[in-house]
């Protein structure tokens, strides 16, 4: 697969990015991690089940992908881009960058 550049959204800018783009926040962590907290209104789909859950996402809706540290969300964002999702971004540093105990 060719390298796909994914826009990176910093922790201080995440809310503005979501609001400005009328975006969905997609949390790709595991259920035990979601139990510790997530961003309000997040759609939760584990990275491992993302391929089978693509039908629950709109390819035209911007998506900010989040995880604990930004690694899984980067992989998920690249996968989504490869599947035709145009406006996908990654939360740099993940929820930890927001100071969440995740």
Residue 1 lies in a domain: no
CB 77 within 8 Å of CB 57: no
Q: What is the CATH number of the domain that holds 31?
A: 3.40.250.10
- What single string gives the DSSP state of each residue in 8-49? EE-GGGHHHHHHHHTPEEEE-S-HHHHTT---TT-EE--GGG
* pTM (predicted TM-score): 0.94
Q: What is the count of structural domains for the chain?
A: 1
pLDDT digits (tens, 9 = 90+) for 24-74: 999 999 999 999 999 989 999 999 999 999 999 999 999 999 999 999 999
pLDDT beyond 70 at 102: no
Percentage of the chain beyond pLDDT 90 is 89
- Specify whether 67 is catalytic: yes
Residue 2 lies in a domain: no
pLDDT of residue 100: 84
Catalytic residue among 50, 66, 67, 91: 67
Domain that holds residue 94: 8-98
């Amino acid at each position: 697969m060719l390298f796909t550049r994914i826009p990176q959204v910093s922790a201080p800018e995440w809310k503005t990015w979501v609001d400005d783009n009328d975006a969905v926040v997609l949390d790709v962590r595991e259920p035990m991690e979601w139990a510790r907290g997530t961003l309000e209104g997040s759609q939760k789909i584990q990275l491992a089940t993302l391929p089978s859950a693509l039908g629950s996402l709109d390819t035209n809706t911007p998506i900010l992908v989040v995880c604990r540290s930004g690694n899984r969300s980067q992989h998920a964002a690249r996968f989504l881009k490869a599947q035709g999702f145009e406006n996908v971004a990654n939360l740099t540093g993940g929820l930890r960058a927001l100071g969440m105990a995740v």
